[in-house]
Structure 1
Amino acid sequence: MEQKPNAIIATQYPSIQEMIIPGQGLKTPPVSPFFMDVTLRDGNQALRKPWNLEEKEIIFKRLLKLGVQGIEVGFASASKQDFEACSYLSSLAPENVAISSLSRAVEKEIDLSWEAIRKAPRPRIHIVYPISDFTIRNVLGISEKQVKENIIRSVSYARKLAGNYGEVQFSGEHFGDSLENMDFAVEAFQAALDAGADVVNLPNTVERYRPYLFVAMVRKVVESLPQGSKISVHTHNDLGMATATTVESFFAGATQLETALNGLGERAGNTNTYEVAIALHNCGVKVDLDLQTIYETSRIVSRMSGVPIPEKAPLIGDDVVAHRSGIHQDGVSKTKDMKKGAYRAFDANLIGRPEGDRIAFTSQSGKSAIYEILMQSGISVSKEEASKLQPILKSISENYGGGELSIEEIKTELEKVRSIGEFRS
């Protein structure tokens, strides 16, 4: 019997039964994610005005306060300033945080990386080299055999430098473009592991396709490499889907997640640390970060980077806790004291936000908005009064073009109608 197209498509995704434990909730991997932060390297190199050493130290200490498990402090061979920054920050590192410097697969650059970070209690040399068919042919202009040889040579060299003291990570640049040569990509990662790499990183260097395609590629690598191999992902946000890609990659077996504060990074940026952390937290994953530092950290990073936070930015945008539709406001009002809110994706207290659900009155708002706004401002009002005041405020808002009314305007109208006995029975 011929299979219907929809049935074929459906088999490409995990079923609900595969994602839920009956009576217990969502299935989660047995390990917590290892957050490898790239703000000081990928994020900093993309700024119009890269940070100086003093600024990098501030960001470094914010990362330690957040509790990330690894920090890429820079690209030591890129410049004298970057080398000095990597060296200085490495000297400040605690024992439990991996400290990395990026390097191309060039021995003199690997030497500089090691020299810069060897002071860290847990140093990591990070080597990056292209593995996609497109890049191999059009950028490197060499054979896959030569690519593999260069990976083995550079990783082996880094392994000898680091010895038993340091770690080595290999990133297959443009892994997300490796659809045409996935078998070779797996070979490349296996070769890196055989040469002494502790971690292999799968970057979506340029986001071109739907998240599940990349996730399926990650799963292919996870299933092909020896059990227990440490797999990492590093995704960019060119199409706005980096968070989804990274979160789902964790469920596909990637335990190290490379992210950046405020989503800073080349072009549209890297995966946003906060979004990934809270998405995983909401799914029942144990996230070993101090989530309450998120909101404050986001403000500091925005100010120091000169990159503003959009008002609609998930979690940290000014407007993401606001509710203006009457239907939404009614749901917010009725569930405000519950752990799960009708229109609340996250608890503001969880990320250290000073305000939770904020109800605002516009021409789209109902009586629940008036009641909640006044009560939260310390003004006692009955549900009946709020119901009678709603059409008056709605009319005023419509005269403003449907705009939002301030608490002062609402109070003024309340006083007016009360003074003329509008609410007397």
Structure 2
Amino acid sequence: MKPSSIRKYVPFHRRFSIPLKDRQWPDRVIEQAPIWCSVDLRDGNQALAIPMNIEEKLEMFRLLVQVGFKQIEVGFPSASQTEFDFLRRLVEQGEIPDDVQVQILVQAREHLIRRSFEALKGVKRAIVHLYNSTSPLQRKITFSDSSKDDIKAIAVKGAQLVRQLADEAEAEGSEITMEYSPESFNDTEIDYAIEICEAVMDVWKPTVERRMILNLPATVEWTTPNVHADQIEYFCRTVKGREKVWISLHTHNDRGTGVAATELGLLAGADRVEGTLFGNGERTGNLDIVNVALNMNSHGIDTGLDFSNLPHICEVYERCTRMSVHERHPYGGELVFTAFSGSHQDAIKKGLDRRKKSAESDPVWEVPYLTIDPEDLGRTYEAIIRINSQSGKGGVAYIMDTEHGLELPKSMHPEVGKIVNDEADRQQKELNADEIREVFEAHFVNLSKPLSLGEYELFHQTETPGMVRCIAQVVYEGKELQIEGTGNGPISAFVDAIEHQGWKNFRLTDYRSHSVGKGSASNSAAYIQLQDVDNGRLLWGCGIDTSIEIAGLKALVSAFNRLQHKPA
């Protein structure tokens, strides 16, 4: 922004100050979940370029019930026939579980209130959410310089009609909870917001046993989350009959701090939270309930919401809303449990390895860079580490282990990692698990040039217990040969045979093996490291075969062949 443009903006504190000098919220911690209310089907829906049709709204409603929401704002039934018809379908077809309250939103205008109650006819349990704008900016522009008394009169008149119609609905068997929002609460003078809320309370007369909801929306984010917390704490401490109301939050995300504002608002004393899945809403969006709830889960707090199949939730959300969950969106994004950095990959692998060994004795989740176990969200470890030219040795090894069952020796990791990273760099792209396996096989597994192994026979030396003799059919630099050697096992006998041919320019420095998969038909993998006697180079080879003995011999041949290719 140009310096000349900045002059048009005024710091928030110059317009409003919160008289709270002994704030308590900074010393508090969140220890329990709030009451959750999804507004996906109203606030989220009205923000869509193509609003959901009735079938899509019904699928979303069912998803929200499945997740565990007990309060769901289903629409603005006085705004359109589609909204009205959707609510009627929920009621008439018995789609609303007995423990779920549907919520509707309505402006403090008589004909809209009456139309809303028509839509609610026959509902078992509902929340009627009444609102009108109260901020100086709204009074000035939207309501043509109306006075505070004029705006309060709108709220009171609307509340009186809601009270009358709610009584009539309850006489017919419905249970109605009433909710009031001073829209744009966060840029309304705090004492005036309290005054207008108390005026509505005087009409609705809540009790400790039958509370009403006071929703305090940050309709537009104007300032930092700590100021929002001050507003909420001051309101909670000042409003009369605090024990008779649920204080509700409804933050938007214009400054990108909707989640922080909500969490601080809960510290400040709020009881309830309105928001949407993945923060879908006007402008930069509403509060993301998935984010806040899983933040709480990661601190050991049971929220009553079930996001254990987050991929399914993302799929339904994206299909119904035609929106997308960003790759970096907290918890739900495709890449949030992915590490490209080598040091991150290495730390994650070590953390997961330790977790496997200690999960039963120490259930506390402790894995570097992962605040939550992806499996708890229906994600899989296969997607945690992905490989590109910036990846490290630990990430490649992790993919080889989890995707392909190949447990590479630790000292082999740098060698394999460099080759895979070089290939990713050459192709200028990320390599998937199968492509990584292909690179590994091309450079390390069952290599056959210049030396290849054919038939191999082993004979036990009766005259020398513990010693064996091998006869091997090989092709070396295009020539078929039969070679023989002795040793204390198949590999040492084959090394001896190579030495008899004058080809041995190495020392065998390491050998590992393991089975790949389960069952009698599974393969075995072997890894052998050789050191070049001339220059000290250390190189690994891998052999894979149904026979563990042949896998070891193939690993030796692979390492030998790699050693023959001198570095440029």
* Structure 1 residues 128 and 293, CA gap change in structure 2 (3 angstroms): farther
Cα deviation 1:302-344 (Å, max 9, x = unaligned):
1121112211111111111111111111210111126222110
Residue 180 of structure 2 aligns to a residue whose secondary structure is: strand
1:336-383, CA deviations, whole angstroms, 9 ceiling, x for partnerless residues?
126222110222222223446611222322221121111112223211
Shift of residue 173 of structure 1?
0.5
Of 156, 162, 165 in structure 1, the residue corresponding to residue 166 of structure 2 is 162
The count of corresponding residues between Structure 1 and Structure 2 is: 403
Q: What TM-score do you get using the length of structure 1 for normalisation?
A: 0.89
> Is 1:359 matched with 2:385?
yes
Instruction: Provide the rounded CA distance (Å) in 2 between the counterparts of 1:80 and 1:14.
Output: 44
Task: Work out whether 1:200 is the aligned partner of 2:214.
Answer: yes
Which is helix-richer, 1 or 2?
1
- Distance in structure 1 (CA, Å) of the matches to 2:84 and 2:324: 29
Tell me: CA distance 1:51–1:135, structure 2 relative to 1, closer, same or farther (3 Å): same
Identify the structure with the greater strand proportion.
Answer: 2
Deviation string 1:53-105 (CA, Å, 9 cap, x unpaired) is 12111111111111112111111111122111122223421222121111110
- Provide the rounded CA distance (Å) in 1 between the counterparts of 2:33 and 2:412: 51
Distance 2:412 2:90 in 1: 60
Contact conserved, 1:326 with 1:366, CA < 8 A, in 2? Answer: yes
Q: Secondary structure at the match of 1:36?
A: strand
Q: Distance in 1 between matches of 2:413 and 2:380?
A: 27
Greater RCO (Cα-Cα under 8 Å, separation 6 or more)? 1
Give the equivalent residue in structure 2 for 1:310.
326
Judge conservation of contact 2:73–2:105 (CA < 8 Å) in 1. yes
C-alpha contact (below 8 Å) 1:66/1:294 kept by paired residues: no
8 Å Cα contact 2:24/2:268 also seen in 1 = no
Q: Secondary structure at the match of 1:253?
A: coil
Instruction: Please list every run of 5 or more consecutive structure 2 residues that lacks an aligned counterpart in the other structure.
Output: 1-20, 207-211, 360-364, 450-529, 531-538, 541-558, 561-568
Q: Secondary structure at the match of 2:331?
A: coil
State the SS of the aligned residue for 1:360: coil
- Tell me how far 1:243 sits from its aligned partner: 1.5
8 Å contact kept, 1:101–1:125: yes
1:19-418 matches, cutoff 5 A: 19=28, 27-29=29-31, 32-91=33-92, 92-140=95-143, 141-163=145-167, 165-178=175-188, 181-196=189-204, 198-225=212-239, 226-228=241-243, 229-336=245-352, 337=355, 339-355=365-381, 358-377=384-403, 378-401=405-428, 403-415=429-441, 416-418=443-445
Cα RMSD (Å): 2.2
Q: Deviations over 1:110-142 (max 9, x none)?
A: 111112123221112111101112211221131
Segments of 5+ residues of structure 1 without an aligned counterpart are 1-9, 20-26
After TM superposition, give the deviation of residue 394 of structure 1 in Å: 3.1
Q: Secondary structure at the match of 2:308?
A: helix
Confirm or deny: 8 A CA contact 2:71 2:103 kept in the other structure. yes
Structure 2 residue identity aligned to 1:270: N
Q: 1:106 to 1:268 in 2, by over 3 A?
A: same
The question of whether the paired residues in 2 share the 8 Å contact of 1:110 and 1:125 is answered with: no
The 1:219–1:90 alpha-carbon spacing in structure 2 relative to 1, beyond 3 Å, is: farther
- Distance of aligned partners of 1:133 and 1:290 in 2 relative to their CA distance in 1, 3 Å threshold: same
Which residue identity lines up with residue 404 of structure 1 in the other structure?
E
- Cα pair 1:231 1:256 within 8 Å, conserved: yes
User: Alignment partner of 2:230: what SS?
Assistant: helix
Tell me how far apart the structure 2 counterparts of residues 340 and 255 of structure 1 sit (CA, whole Å): 31
The alpha-carbon distance between structure 1 residues 84 and 412, as it changes in their structure 2 partners (threshold 3 A), is closer
Larger radius of gyration: 2
Provide, for residues 126-164 of structure 1, a one-character-per-residue CA deviation record: whole Å limited to 9, x for no partner: 111011122112211311112112212211221221126
| In structure 1, C-alpha distance between the alignment counterparts of 2:196 and 2:300, rounded to whole Å | 34
Separation of aligned partners in 2, 1:66 and 1:356: 25
Could you tell me which amino acid in structure 1 is paired with residue 41 of structure 2?
L
What amino acid does structure 2 have at the position aligned with 1:149? A
Distance 1:354 1:393 in 2: 23
Alignment check: 8 A CA contact 2:220 2:254 kept: yes
Shift of 1:13: 8.1
Runs of 4+, deviation exceeding 6 Å: 10-13
Q: Which moved more, 1:383-392 or 1:200-209?
A: 383-392
How far did residue 12 of structure 1 move?
A: 6.9
Look up the equivalent residue of 2:260 and give its one-letter code: A
Q: Is the 8 A contact 2:25 2:268 kept in 1?
A: no
Cα deviation per residue 1:220-273 (whole Å; 9 max; x = unaligned)? Answer: 111112332211111112222111212221221111111112322212221112
Aligned mates of 2:202, 2:34 — CA distance in 1 = 24
